[in-house]
Chain A
Amino acid sequence: MANRSTIKIRSKRFSEHTLVRTLIAHAMETGKRKDQESGDLIPAHFIQTLSFKHNDKLLSECQMGFGISKNPFFSFKIKQANAGDKITISWLDNLGFSDSKDHIIQ
């Protein structure tokens, strides 16, 4: 399933920090949009929590509403990280779906 993950992670080491960027494939429906064909409201479906771990230690937990854009993008800067360290990003949405992905810093 690795290729089908909803999560993409990129990292880049700089002299003073490591920049981690993540892009998640998710509709982030507000619950107010209407289906163009049927005219029915599309139910709200959005990520509620996202956790950002570095070597299994929680560095940030993000709680969000549907105010975050479709296909959410986030970036973080870790102060101390080395090549080979593991980054884990996972999310959970309001309908109970979730995903998680590991990334190794080069």
Chain B
Amino acid sequence: MQINRRQFIKNLLTTSVSVALLSFSKISLGKWLVSDFSHRSIDITLKELFPNKTIQNSRKIKLKLPKTAENGNVVPITISSSIDNIDTIYILSEKNPVPLIAKFTLDPNLEAYIGARFKMQESCDVIVIVKAGDDFYQTRQYVKVTIGGCGG
């Protein structure tokens, strides 16, 4: 197969971009994955973060989150839970360009408690997922955003 110049340049670009991405993620910190924080829909994010996992709805996760956020740039959230042995907490915003906001690992000497502030692009559900060993639990709350964050 003959490769013309256009094709060659295209290949070259694709390769260099992926190499750059790979080395980028390696240098910054091994565990921070570009793929976790890429632009995609909430469905794909959930599918890739929790492949083949059943996430049960739980009332044992308490969210302190405003019903209406006047400023989408700063939405305060406080998460606490009575579920035992939580080792990871995920915060997701359904309609943000990058749905995964943050994930926290928790040592047993920490209470199941996290406070943070995040951005919301528009009104949507905020989803909090906790991992306790092999079990996954979630809760969600709708937040109305008056002025959107993420750019503005």
Contacts and interface: CB of A to CB of B under 8 A. Distances in A.
Interface of A: 17, 21, 30, 32-33, 48-49, 54, 57-70, 72-80, 92, 94, 96
A66 B34 CA distance: 12
7 contacts: A65-B37, A65-B102, A66-B150, A67-B102, A67-B118, A70-B74, A75-B78
Leading 8 A-B pairs by shortest Cβ distance: A75-B115, A65-B37, A64-B102, A67-B101, A77-B111, A69-B117, A59-B107, A77-B113
B114 A75 contact: yes
Nearest to B108: A79
Nearest to A69: B117
Interface of B: 27-29, 31-32, 36-37, 73-76, 78, 93, 96-98, 100-107, 109-111, 113-119, 149-152
A58 B27 CA distance: 21
A21 B78 CA distance: 12
Interface SS, A side: strand
A96 B102 contact: no
Contact of A67 (B96, B107, B109): B96
